[in-house]
Structure 1
Amino acid sequence: MNIWMVLIAATALSSVLCNVLIPMAWRTALVDHPCERKQHGVPVPLVGGLAVYGTMMIMMVAILPLEVNIRLFLVASSFMVLIGALDDRYDIDAGVRFIAQLLAAAVVVFGADVQITHIGDLFGTGVIELGPLSMPFTLLCIVAAMNAYNMIDGIDGLLGAMAMVAFAGISLLALMHNQYLPLVVATILFGAMIPYLVRNLGFKLRPVRKIFMGDSGSMLVGFTVVWLLVMLTHPESVLESWFDSRPDLSSVRPVAVLWLIAVPLMDMFAILSRRVMKGQSPFKPDREHLHHIFMRAGFSARQALTIISIIAVAKLGLGLTLEWFAVPEPIVLSIFVAIFVLYLLMLKNIWKIVSWVRQHRDVETHN
């Protein structure tokens, strides 16, 4: 099936599902109510994730051969979406949600043998094999990604934008390495995100009813992203039949995929480290995320979204360029770590930066 047709079909189907699910959300009370930590003033349906999931499920079943790996992924993602929807509706305990995330990850890790067996030649001393740590490391990566995307869902459009950056990056890497399956799945998810993003941002092209992604959507995004990234970096073990039938297929270097999820990943680790250093629970909600910082500096939510999206696209472009030119992995890792350290230093001095930005904006206003 032509990849552009896949994109168009996914976008159209997701739009239809959004229209169908919004009335159902009101009937089942699957809505997000305003509170002191939230910016919206009226209840908003939490069906974005369900529309994306429905689109993914229908299209994957319709156009892909349902091998064991794909079937188990669909089962695990269905379970994760169910738990997320229950969390959206009943606000389940964080511990229960964490156990559910581990169970969903275990389905693909142990059931389908989807695992990260090596992390590449990061230090110039040869490929680092994980051995017996492969399965627990893969579980950790899946759960971390689900929570990273869940945590970054703080302002309108941000989760959708970060997801689309990741899926666009996966599609481009898949094209570079002749991997058809991740290309198709990432294209489906990219297309499914478009109607959600239009409704979430409330574009006035035509009257739209606002929706949120919900935990079901944010966890689905994180889960799918890691599944696709493992597929890109370990195609010979994850997709044996596809690998055998495509002799031109090659694997992506593990260090390259960090750039696809750089913003959610860096934001999550920075937030968790700050909470632990303050003696707080790492799962305690707060207003210290990157988008909150931009807004305290005087930027609007839409401006913060634009700036963070540009940063994410720039990091993606840098990562793809480094992969295209096959820059040695130790150098790629060093660049990534340097950017992360710069990010942490910025956060450490954030109030000085915020004060400077406010003064600069005040001067421009008065002039």
Structure 2
Amino acid sequence: MENLYIIISAFVSAVILGRIIIPNILIISFRKRLFDVPDERKVHKRPVPRLGGVTFFPVILFSLCVFTAVRLMANCGPAAEDTQELVCEFLFMMGGLTLLYIVGIADDLVGVRYRKKFLVQIISAAMFPLSGLYINSFYGLFGIFLIPEEVGIPLTMLLVVFITNAINLIDGIDGLASGLSMVALVVFGVLFVHFQMWSYAMLAFVTVGVIIPFFSYNVFGSVDLGRKIFMGDTGSLTLGFILSFFVIKYCMYEPSMLLTMKSSPVLVSFSVLMVPCLDVVRVVLRRARNKRSLFMPDKTHIHHKFLEMGFTPRKAMMTIQLMSACFCAFTIVAIHYMNNTLVFVIDVVVWTVLHLWFDRVIEKKKR
């Protein structure tokens, strides 16, 4: 019970710190004129500060360090976790997060070429296998179970880069990336509490805590009153990397934990991040089919489709969140009654049909 109290305290501290820091970030942004300037691809029509994500990493690091120390002093430290393994995983993760934080700030301030960003993301992704974390089982998905290291390690690095960029690219309208991330973090947090992996649960809920004040400014803040802010690449890269850490940790098969207890972790992880991940796949395939650069931004993401269908940005955000929640709920329930591969195929087919329907609605609206 003490662990739960400490996690709640860490969560509250993250909310308070975020609430204190973000107004100061706004002041600095206005004084130095650090804005996200609108263009033909962006939804907003007026310059908005874009350094909200600068808050995330320092607050997460502070809350995690302080309340981990509190756990140790209260003699309720790592129980189900192996201490050395835990420390290695968190130190390597924080190392990779530091690199992404630096390149994110640089990108938000002066811009960074995508090749350099990819290089830093690959180096950061390598931190997970160095700490001993990598995808080592598909739990029967496509008939695949255990995966050898020579396949699992590069697959893990690819997955980390993919998820990190998926969160970055879905950040196109107010509250979408942060809202989807919060839902995924809560799911992972609850799962880690269930398995008494308290340090991982603390990280998940601390991250939710720092997102909450940002979400209020991002979604409900007024541009006219100077109280609106975007997370920028600093924030989206931070959230994407932390989510990829949870995906790899939760999916890694450990003989001490029964497969049936994890309820197909690959599909559970896929379900909570399905919308941003499948949206990236769809957009990349579309660009490849049209022989366009895979890295040049456009207006073909799912939130752009909702806007074209006549949704307001806020209604689009809420609808996409609801759609994501429905996919997640279906997958988590269905894996108990159906074959894993069949559940995955149903998710992808439904996603594809929905987009075909969206395209038809958009075509009718343009006539």
TM-score tier by shorter-chain length is: 0.7 to 0.9
Residue of structure 1 aligned with 2:323, choices 311, 315, 327: 311
Match of 2:276 in 1: 264
* Equivalent runs, 1:31-42 vs 2, <5 Å: 31-42=35-46
Q: Is the 8 A contact 2:10 2:64 kept in 1?
A: no
Distance 2:134 2:60 in 1: 22
Secondary structure at 2:126 match in 1: helix
Specify whether residues 139 and 235 from structure 1 end up closer, same or farther in structure 2 by C-alpha distance, changes over 3 A only: same
> CA–CA distance in 2 between the matches of 1:86 and 1:322?
43
SS at match of 2:23: helix
> C-alpha separation between the residues in 1 aligned to 2:360 and 2:21?
46
Q: Identify the match of residue 180 of structure 2 among 149, 162, 166.
A: 162
The alpha-carbon distance between structure 1 residues 126 and 47, as it changes in their structure 2 partners (threshold 3 A), is closer
* Distance of aligned partners of 1:35 and 1:126 in 2 relative to their CA distance in 1, 3 Å threshold: closer
Partner of 1:100: 120
Q: Which residue of 2 aligns with 1:351?
A: 359
Q: What TM-score comes out, normalization by structure 2 length?
A: 0.85
**1:349 to 1:307, Cα distance in 2 relative to 1, 3 A:** closer
1:340 aligned partner: 348
Which one-letter code corresponds to 2:351 in the other structure? Y
Contact 2:137 2:253 in 1 (8 A): no
Range 274-283 or range 101-110, more displaced: 101-110
Select the residue among 122, 134, 138 that pairs with 1:115: 134
Contact residue 189 and residue 205 of structure 2 kept, 8 A? yes
Q: Is the 8 A contact 2:220 2:228 kept in 1?
A: yes
Could you tell me which residue of structure 2 aligns to residue 254 of structure 1? Answer: 266
Whole-angstrom distance in 2 between the partners of 1:117 and 1:228: 15
CA shift at 1:68, angstroms? 2.3
* Deviations, residues 78-128 of structure 1 (Å, cap 9, x unaligned): 110110111111121111111111111112322x122111221114x5623
**Bigger shift: 228-237 or 278-287?**
228-237
1:231-263 C-alpha deviation (Å, 9 max, x unpaired): 2222749xxxxx8xx99x965622221111011
- Aligned pairs, how many? 343
Question: Given the alignment, which residue of 5, 15, 22 partners 1:18?
Answer: 22
Identical aligned residues as a percent: 24
Asked if the contact 2:26–2:226 (Cα under 8 Å) also holds between the matched residues in 1, the reply is: no
Could you list the structure 1 runs, at least 4 aligned residues long, displaced by more than 6 angstroms after superposition. none
- 2:137, 2:145 within 8 Å by CA — same for their partners in 1? yes
> What are the ranges of 5 or more consecutive residues in structure 1 without an aligned counterpart?
238-242, 360-367
Q: Secondary structure at the match of 2:133?
A: coil
Aligned to 1:136: 154
Distance apart, 1:61 and its partner CA: 1.3
Quote the residue 1:173 is aligned against. 191
Q: 2: distance between equivalents of 1:174 and 1:202?
A: 31
Distance 2:182 2:294 in 1: 27
Instruction: Provide the C-alpha distance between the structure 1 equivalents of 2:325 and 2:349, rounded to a whole number of angstroms.
Output: 19
The residue that corresponds to 1:89 in the other structure is: 109
Offset of 1:28 from its aligned partner? 4.8
Residues 235 and 332 of structure 1, relative CA distance in 2, 3 Å threshold: closer
State how far apart, in whole Å, the 2-side matches of 1:42 and 1:356 are: 30
CA–CA separation in structure 2 for the residues paired with 1:318 and 1:184: 27
Residues 1:30 and 1:107: Cα distance change in structure 2 (over 3 Å) = farther
Say whether 1:281 aligns with 2:293. Answer: yes
Q: Measure the CA separation in 2 of the matches of 1:26 and 1:103.
A: 34
Q: Name 2:82's counterpart in structure 1.
A: none
SS in 2 for 1:280: coil
TM-score by length of 1: 0.85
Distance 1:319 1:168 in 2: 16
- Aligned-partner Cα distance in 1 for 2:145–2:366: 48
Q: Cα 1:56–1:322, aligned 2, differ >3 Å: closer, same or farther? A: farther
Which residue of structure 2 aligns with residue 127 of structure 1?
145
Whether 2:47 is the aligned partner of 1:43: answer yes
Instruction: Classify the secondary structure of the residue corresponding to 2:25.
Output: helix
